[in-house]
Structure 1
Amino acid sequence: MDTAVHIEAIRRDGPLLAEAAERAGLDAPVPTCPEWRVRDLLTHLGQVHRWAIRYVAEGLTEPLPLSTAAGPEGQDLVEWFRDGHRRLVAALAAAPPDLACWTFLPAPSPLHFWARRQAHELAIHRVDAQAALGAEFSPFPADFAADGIDEIIVGFHGLATSKARTRTPRTLRIRATDTEDVWTMRLSEEAPRTIRGLGPSKGTTADGAGDVEKEAVDCELGGDAGSLYLVLWNRLPLERVSVTGDASLADLWRKKSTIGRRG
């Protein structure tokens, strides 16, 4: 997906989140993040946006701790979030294509990484704000949702830190019915290895290592990309997608797929 599409997604979701947060109220609980209230959600995102801005605007090549600077009290917190969001969009839009800076997931370029990561960070937390309001979730374009699925299962769960592991080798397939995207996760005692883009008989490993024959799987999750996106981020229940095969593998995902809050 093009970097400009990610930046436009950030531009779109920021106001939706701010509006939902403002209407819900700062003390409203966030049911999709049970330990948080809306003020915690806004504070987290304001910190993440300012952290990301530094990499993009300053070209920092070494990791720095996530900002812990607290936002203002009361309703000014919403405007503080809006200000950080506007600055993030501006920094990404102004960054040169050959931006060099630190990243933590594989990407075609550092600019692509930061635009993509912040687009999905904001999209998922926009859902959290709408959940706090008790509102329907604004839908995602199918290709954007599929891109978010790819980021979590190929990106985050391709890292050595992934906890999605099994004692014996198992396979979990994710099939987006509206985009025809398919991913097959090979689970074992090691970090998952994902095959993406299965055709009639073969797929290509996510790391580009070569073709892999299509294989039978132990469990498959299927549904539209938007539903799968939110199920895989544990924002919707498994009942919102189809589960075929060994459902215990889907349950394992729910329990083991949480990722650290790196932004």
Structure 2
Amino acid sequence: MDTSDLITALDRDGQLLAEAAARAGLDTPVPTCPEWRVRELVTHTGAVHRWAARIVGESLTEPIGLPAAPEGDGPELVEWFREGHRQLVKTLTTAEPDLRCWTFMPAPSPLSFWIRRQAHETAVHRVDAEAALDGGGASAAGSSSDSSAGFSPIDAEFAADGVEELLVKFHGGERSRVRTDTPRTLRVRATDSGAVWTVRLSDGPPRTERTAEGPADCELAGPVSDLYLALWNRLPLDALGSTGDASLARLWRERSVIG
């Protein structure tokens, strides 16, 4: 996906997150992150934005800690988030393409890594803010009738890019906990865009290919925006169509959470 389109998505989703958080109120529970209220959601995402902006803006080559949130509470916390989000968008937009800085996953370039990662970080947490605003209704982690229709629209190309990042980058690394003693194959199929991923599971890190070749033990299927939200644990897996061995879908659900 083009980096300019990812920055546009980052800009939009950050604004939507702030709007939803302000309307929901800082004390409102976040159904998609049961341990959080909106306050923690805003604080976390705002800190991540400032963290990424500093790494890119200062061309840091070593990791740093997340900055502290302001002591104030209420509207000023949402404004603190807005300021950090604007700074991140500006920093990523004006950074030199040949920037060299620290990253935590392989990518074509450090700048493309940070643009992509922050776009999807913000999109997923925007969904969290909208789930809080919705009050945990049809768009949150409830019944099998759930779908992404309750959230602001997610562009199909953007959603496919986020599925790709999750399956190939996050779960292609040694830290992935999605492992099986016996080799298994999970297929992920977008029923609207035609994108298909085949995830080969073993006692090592999963290996994902953009292919529909070969048999699969389990297949998860649905609109690509629903795949995006379900695989990022913002919709229940039973919001998707599933065929084959249901235990493999449960294994994914239980072990695929990204910390």
TM-score w.r.t. the length of structure 2 is 0.92
Deviation of the 1:239 alpha carbon:
2.2
Q: Helix, strand or coil: the match of 2:179?
A: coil
CA distance in 2, matches of 1:152, 1:224: 17
Q: Helix, strand or coil: the match of 1:173?
A: strand
Residues 70 and 77 in structure 2, CA contact (< 8 A), matched pair in contact too: no
Partner of 1:192: 206
Deviation of the 1:151 alpha carbon:
0.5
Change (3 A) 1:74 1:96: same
Q: Helix, strand or coil: the match of 1:31?
A: coil
Kindly indicate whether residue 151 of structure 2 is the aligned counterpart of residue 152 of structure 1.
no
CA distance in 2, matches of 1:184, 1:255: 19
Kindly, what percent of the aligned residue pairs are identical?
A: 64
Unpaired stretches in structure 1, ≥5 consecutive residues? 199-213
CA offsets per residue over residues 92-130 of structure 1, 9 Å max, x none?
Answer: 000011111111112111111000000000000000000
Partner of 1:205: none
CA distance in 1, matches of 2:190, 2:181: 27
Partner of 1:10: 10
CA distance in 1, matches of 2:79, 2:67: 18
Partner of 1:257: 256
Change (3 A) 1:129 1:119: same
Deviation of the 1:250 alpha carbon:
0.6
Partner of 2:222: 223
Q: Over aligned residue pairs, what C-alpha RMSD do you find? A: 1.1
Residues 50 and 88 in structure 1, CA contact (< 8 A), matched pair in contact too: yes
Residues 178 and 201 in structure 2, CA contact (< 8 A), matched pair in contact too: yes
Q: Helix, strand or coil: the match of 1:179?
A: coil
CA distance in 2, matches of 1:105, 1:3: 17
Residues 72 and 80 in structure 1, CA contact (< 8 A), matched pair in contact too: no
Q: Helix, strand or coil: the match of 1:65?
A: coil
User: Of the candidates 170, 181, 184, which is equivalent to residue 167 of structure 1?
Assistant: 181
CA distance in 2, matches of 1:182, 1:240: 18
1:34-73 correspondence runs (5 A): 34-70=34-70, 72-73=72-73
CA distance in 2, matches of 1:13, 1:197: 30
Deviation of the 1:31 alpha carbon:
0.5
CA distance in 2, matches of 1:67, 1:217: 44
CA offsets per residue over residues 186-233 of structure 1, 9 Å max, x none?
Answer: 1111111111144xxxxxxxxxxxxxxx21010001111100000001
Letter of the 2:156 partner, please give it.
A
Letter of the 2:187 partner, please give it.
R
CA offsets per residue over residues 35-57 of structure 1, 9 Å max, x none?
Answer: 00000000001110010001110
CA distance in 1, matches of 2:214, 2:121: 32
Moved over 4 A (4+): none
Change (3 A) 1:151 1:93: same
Letter of the 2:116 partner, please give it.
R
Partner of 1:140: 154
CA distance in 2, matches of 1:106, 1:99: 15
1:102-121 correspondence runs (5 A): 102-121=102-121
Deviation of the 1:69 alpha carbon:
3.9
Deviation of the 1:259 alpha carbon:
1.1
Q: Helix, strand or coil: the match of 1:130?
A: helix
Q: How many residues are matched?
A: 245
Residues 183 and 195 in structure 1, CA contact (< 8 A), matched pair in contact too: yes
Deviation of the 1:71 alpha carbon:
5.4
Change (3 A) 1:125 1:256: same
Partner of 2:30: 30
Residues 3 and 116 in structure 2, CA contact (< 8 A), matched pair in contact too: yes
CA distance in 2, matches of 1:148, 1:74: 32
Partner of 1:247: 246
Deviation of the 1:132 alpha carbon:
0.3
Deviation of the 1:15 alpha carbon:
1.2
Partner of 1:176: 190
CA distance in 1, matches of 2:37, 2:180: 34
CA offsets per residue over residues 17-38 of structure 1, 9 Å max, x none?
Answer: 1111011000000000000000
